[in-house]
């Protein structure tokens, strides 16, 4: 099969230099790349740099008679599997959203039905401006994948969201976008079509009385991202969610629960499944005797909470006669991550443990560095946005159950 071909449009921002590293990574991944450099981009890097790194001619203008006869602007996008705009400046995003075609880059972007991945980079105020946010929302509605910029110190001396993500992370987005179902050819089946996937996500709340509960910091983001990735790969996804503030991903069937015991019952009702991924941060204990009425201060004597152990849903599933063929657990650890994950794999009787160090702000945060622990060994991934962790994990799962 022909390797994927990328058309890289380099816009005019200081982050343009990072496009050079991106070209290197695209080629290292076995893909080919051709570049379009905007006038603004050419203020920061030269066509020569891009030509040398891509080993391909670089295109800069619409008004080039030779190029228009040999390789027209329509052909540039037609030969590409994916168009990547990096860095996507506020100006480029605005023109894309408005359908303006006043340069080679914007004309290529208007005259194409090839998937587009835009990687914005700009000053924090420009990014946060209502106009830019409106344009990004418009583009997303039009089907363009717009990556969220990184947060941090900027070249202009300010701080906040607007930095170009690191080239390795952009490369992850490119690979994920190329793997999306929209890239599949008609007649080709999706990698998880016909598979039933059961996922738990979020925390559980264990009532103390009608107004108080025991909980943890889980946001449910990682589990929801996994549900979304599984559905996008064609799976029939049953998501059992604890109390979270997240919308249901497209195509996912969701059951909301509050307590660990309700989650265990919902998992039982959702069986059988081919694959189960237990991402929920289930409360280990509940109060043995939750009060029917609000517990009142009694002037000195402190209330005592008696705890009872909750059912272990994952371990129960591993022993069940309807055990899914692939059973994946998560492990939230604050120390000795891999040793604890190995012990958990054996204790729970699952096939894989996805272990993460939650000593920082992983719980409730947007990024995650995970280790996949199996009987065969440990595979460690670098820190990635949770949706990328989800897509990679689902690709690995699809390979394993193929």
Which chain residues interact with ligand CTP by CB under 6 A?
200, 260, 278, 280-282, 284, 310, 312-314, 329-332, 344, 348
Nearer to ligand CTP, 192 or 267 (CB): 267
Min CB(278)–ligand CTP separation in Å: 4
Nearer to ligand CTP, 124 or 241 (CB): 241
Min CB(216)–ligand CTP separation in Å: 9
Nearer to ligand CTP, 192 or 198 (CB): 198
Catalytic, out of 20, 35, 86, 156: 156
Nearer to ligand CTP, 123 or 200 (CB): 200
The count of C-alpha atoms lying within 13 angstroms of the C-alpha of 378, restricted to the half-sphere facing its C-beta, is: 14
Min CB(282)–ligand CTP separation in Å: 4
Three-state secondary structure readout of the chain? CCCCEEEEEECCCCCHHHHHHHHHHHHHCCCEEEEEECCCHHHCCCHHHHHHHHCCCEECCCCCHHHHHHCCHHHHHHCCCEEEEEEECHHHHHHHHHCCCCCHHHHHHHCCCCCEEEEECCCHHHHHCHHHHHHHHHHHHCCCEECCCEEEECCCCCEEEEECCCHHHHHHHHHHHHHCHHHCCCCCCCCCCCCEEEEEECECCEEEECCEEECCCCCCHHHHHHHHHHHHCCCEEEEEECCCCCCCCCCCEEEECCCHHHHHHHHHHHCCCCEEEECCECCCEEECCCCCCCCCCCCCCCCCCCEEECCCHHHHHHHCCCCCCEEEEEEEECCCHHHHHHHHHHHHCCCEEEEEECCCCCCCCCEECEEEEECCEEEECCCEEHHHHHHHHHHHHHHHHC
Concerning whether 156 is annotated as a catalytic residue, the answer is yes
Which residues on adjacent β-strands are paired with residue 176? none
Nearer to ligand CTP, 198 or 278 (CB): 278
Nearer to ligand CTP, 236 or 351 (CB): 351
Of 84, 74, 76, 89, residue with least CA distance to 39: 89
Nearer to ligand CTP, 165 or 220 (CB): 220
Min CB(252)–ligand CTP separation in Å: 18
Which residues on adjacent β-strands are paired with residue 33? 6
Min CB(196)–ligand CTP separation in Å: 18
Instruction: Note the maximum CA span of the chain.
Output: 89
Q: Give catalytic residues, as residue numbers.
A: 156
């Amino acid at each position: 099969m022909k390797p994927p071909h990328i058309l890289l449009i380099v816009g005019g921002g200081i982050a343009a230099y990072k496009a050079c590293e991106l070209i290197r990574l695209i080629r290292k991944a076995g893909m080919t790349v051709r570049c379009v450099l905007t006038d603004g981009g050419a203020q920061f890097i030269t066509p020569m740099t891009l030509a040398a790194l891509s080993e391909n001619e670089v295109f800069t203008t619409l008004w080039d008679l030779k190029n228009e006869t040999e390789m027209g602007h329509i052909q540039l996008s037609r030969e590409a599997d994916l168009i990547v705009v990096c860095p996507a400046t506020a100006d480029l995003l605005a023109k894309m959203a408005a359908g303006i075609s006043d340069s080679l880059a914007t004309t290529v972007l208007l005259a194409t039905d090839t998937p587009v991945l835009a990687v914005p980079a700009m000053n924090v105020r420009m990014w946060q401006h209502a106009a830019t946010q409106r344009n990004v929302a418009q583009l997303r509605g039009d089907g363009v994948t717009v990556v969220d910029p990184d947060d941090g110190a900027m070249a202009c001396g300010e701080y906040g969201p607007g930095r170009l993500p690191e080239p390795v992370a952009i490369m992850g987005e490119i690979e994920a976008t190329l793997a999306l179902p929209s890239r599949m050819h008609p007649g080709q089946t999706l990698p998880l079509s016909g598979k039933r996937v059961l996922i738990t996500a979020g925390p559980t709340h264990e009532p103390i009385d009608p107004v108080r509960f025991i909980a943890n910091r889980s946001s449910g983001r990682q589990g929801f991202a996994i549900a979304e990735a599984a559905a996008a790969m064609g799976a029939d996804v049953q998501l059992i969610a604890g109390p979270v503030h997240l919308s249901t991903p497209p195509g996912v069937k969701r059951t909301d629960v509050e307590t660990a015991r309700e989650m265990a019952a919902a998992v039982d009702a959702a069986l059988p499944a081919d694959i189960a991924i237990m991402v929920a941060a289930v409360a280990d204990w509940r109060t043995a005797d939750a009060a029917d009425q609000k517990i009142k201060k009694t002037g000195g004597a402190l209330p005592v909470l008696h705890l009872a152990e909750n059912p272990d849903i994952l371990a129960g599933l591993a022993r069940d006669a309807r055990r899914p063929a692939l059973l994946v657990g998560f492990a939230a650890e604050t120390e000795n991550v891999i040793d604890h994950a190995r012990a958990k794999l054996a204790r729970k009787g699952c096939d894989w443990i996805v272990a993460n160090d939650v000593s920082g702000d992983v719980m409730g945060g947007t990024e995650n560095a995970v280790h996949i622990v199996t009987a065969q060994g440990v595979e460690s991934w670098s820190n990635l946005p949770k949706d990328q962790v989800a897509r990679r994990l689902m690709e690995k799962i699809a390979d394993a159950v193929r």
